[in-house]
């Protein structure tokens, strides 16, 4: 299986400017992340709020520029592309957001929203505008009669279907799904997940699926990357693997749900996430880790693999 996406040592540092009473500070929102996404696979990226999931997504689509690292998409060096080349390439790599309508003018009808990618890219489409709109709406399980509706006239689930139709309009091969169901009711969440599964099969799509919800990621994805404060701390080659990183174990223990429509109780992790600006020396998880030993406070563990299962921990389980 060839790789659609290859990410190597990708980092993003945000700096906060200093002032008369404050030093300038740097924060590694994404820190030395490497992975391959083979064509047709679904990799889930999971972690608590602020761990860098959305920043990783935006870096991959080059919506923001990395501080260092390399990105290859279908064999091409993405970072060597000019902005005009990137604009064309973006047709092939699309993003679905948690709130699809945050990026769409509220005065747009459903029809205009799903056709906007053609207008922005100046692309021709096969068939009449009406037939393309009908086809896109059908693809996401929406009645063509809703084409003339405005966002306030349709439900949250329908809005997300419009967001997915928009993302599919130019027939991408990669979809980056950033918490696509997080703002939806549980039953609607399950419908959107099954739509995404069906689209993956029908269109041969490759997904990077970002979520804070490990049970959903385990249900939906082929592989899982667990992020903690900008770093990948564990990469599981399949969803049945037991956790080897104590952080992943805690996330797994605090959730249960064999399917997305059987909801779960989430027990919050104990202890504070350290400030991303003042990372302690050693492992960033040390203050919350029941297995920490002296080395964990002094040496940052590197991600190392055993049988395709990688973990960054001095005392893996
Ligand atoms: N443009 C920016 N400027 C400065 N800091 C930023 C910027 N974007 C993100 N950050 C910081 O980078 C860190 C990672 O944020 P990011 O949004 O990627 O996390 P996340 O895991 O997606 O969280 P959430 O699920 O809450 O969106 C956070 O500490 C955030 O405050």
**Domain architecture of the chain: domains with CATH:** 1-15+26-74+175-183+204-317 (3.40.50.300)
Mutate to test the pocket of ligand 1, among 50, 178, 229 (most ligand atoms within 8 A of CB): 50
DSSP state of 55: H
Ligand 1 centroid distance, CA of 56 (Å): 9
What pLDDT tens digit does each residue of the chain (317 aa) get?
A: 799 999 999 999 998 877 777 788 889 999 999 999 999 999 999 998 889 999 999 999 999 999 999 999 999 999 999 988 998 898 999 999 988 777 778 899 999 999 999 988 888 888 899 999 999 999 999 999 999 999 989 999 999 999 999 999 999 999 999 999 998 999 999 999 999 999 999 999 999 999 999 999 999 999 999 999 999 999 999 988 899 999 999 888 876 554 555 444 444 566 667 777 867 789 999 988 989 999 999 999 999 988 889 999 999 99
pTM here is: 0.90
Mutate to test the pocket of ligand 1, among 25, 31, 54 (most ligand atoms within 8 A of CB): 54
The verdict on ipTM greater than 0.85 is: yes
Ligand 1 center to 283 CA (angstroms): 20
Q: Is there a contact between 237 and 248 (Cβ–Cβ < 8 Å)?
A: no
Q: Could you tell me the distance, in angstroms and rounded to a whole number, from the CA of residue 136 to the centre of ligand 1?
A: 32
Nearest to 96 by CA among 4, 191, 218, 196: 196
- What is the number of the ligand 1 atom nearest to the C-alpha of 47? 21
The number of C-alpha atoms within 13 Å of 39 and in the hemisphere containing its C-beta is: 12
Residue 46 CA to ligand 1 center (angstroms) comes to: 14
Ligand 1 geometric centre to CA of 228 (Å): 12
Q: Quote the CA–CA distance of 304 and 194 in Å, as a whole number.
A: 34
| Beta bridge partners of residue 227, listed in sequence order | 232
Q: Which residue has the tokens 């998409």?
A: 73
**Contact between residue 147 and residue 202 where contact means Cβ atoms under 8 Å apart:** no
Q: Whose Cα sits closest to atom 28 in ligand 1?
A: 50
Q: How far apart are the first and last CA of the chain?
A: 30
Q: Do the Cβ atoms of 7 and 187 come closer than 8 Å?
A: no
Closest CA to 5 of 50, 32, 42, 47: 42
Ligand 1, atom 11: nearest CA belongs to which residue? Answer: 29
Task: Give the model's pLDDT for residue 201.
Answer: 95
Collapsed DSSP state (helix, strand, coil) of residue 304: strand
Ligand 1, residues 13, 55, 64: which to mutate, most atoms within 8 A of Cβ?
55
SS3 182: coil
**Closest CA to ligand 1's atom 25:** 49
Ligand 1 pocket (Cβ < 6 Å) reads: 14, 29, 47, 49-55, 212, 276
Smallest CA separation from ligand 1 atom 20, residue: 50
CA of 28 to the centre of ligand 1 (A): 10
Q: Give the span between the Cα atoms of 218 and 224, in whole angstroms.
A: 7
């Amino acid at each position: 299986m060839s790789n659609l996406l290859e990410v190597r040592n990708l980092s993003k540092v945000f700096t906060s400017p200093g002032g008369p009473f404050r030093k300038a500070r740097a924060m590694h929102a994404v820190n030395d992340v490497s992975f391959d996404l083979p064509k047709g696979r679904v990799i889930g990226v999971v972690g608590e709020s602020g761990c860098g999931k959305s920043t990783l997504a935006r870096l991959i689509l080059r919506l923001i520029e990395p501080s260092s690292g390399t990105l290859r998409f279908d064999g091409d060096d993405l970072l060597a592309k000019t902005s005009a080349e990137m604009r064309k390439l973006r047709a092939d790599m699309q993003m679905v957001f948690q709130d699809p309508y945050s990026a769409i003018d509220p005065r747009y009808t459903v029809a205009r929203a799903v056709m906007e990618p053609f207008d922005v890219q100046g692309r021709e489409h096969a068939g009449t505008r009406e037939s393309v709109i009908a086809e896109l709406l059908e693809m996401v399980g929406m009645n063509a009669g809703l084409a003339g509706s405005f966002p306030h006239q349709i439900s949250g689930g329908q809005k997300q279907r419009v967001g997915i139709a928009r993302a599919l309009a130019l027939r991408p091969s990669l979809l980056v799904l950033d918490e696509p169901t997080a703002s939806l009711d549980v039953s609607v969440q399950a419908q959107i997940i099954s739509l995404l599964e069906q689209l993956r099969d029908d269109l041969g799509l490759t997904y990077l699926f970002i979520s804070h919800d490990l049970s959903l990621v385990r249900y939906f994805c082929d592989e899982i990357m667990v992020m903690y404060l900008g770093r990948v701390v564990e990469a599981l080659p399949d969803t049945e693997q037991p956790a080897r990183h104590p952080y992943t174990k805690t996330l797994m223990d605090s959730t249960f749900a064999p399917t997305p429509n059987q909801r779960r109780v989430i027990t919050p992790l104990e202890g504070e996430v350290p400030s991303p600006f003042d990372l302690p020396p050693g492992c960033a998880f040390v203050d919350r880790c029941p297995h920490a030993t002296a080395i964990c406070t002094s040496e940052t563990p590197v991600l190392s693999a055993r049988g395709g299962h990688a973990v960054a921990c001095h005392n893996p389980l």
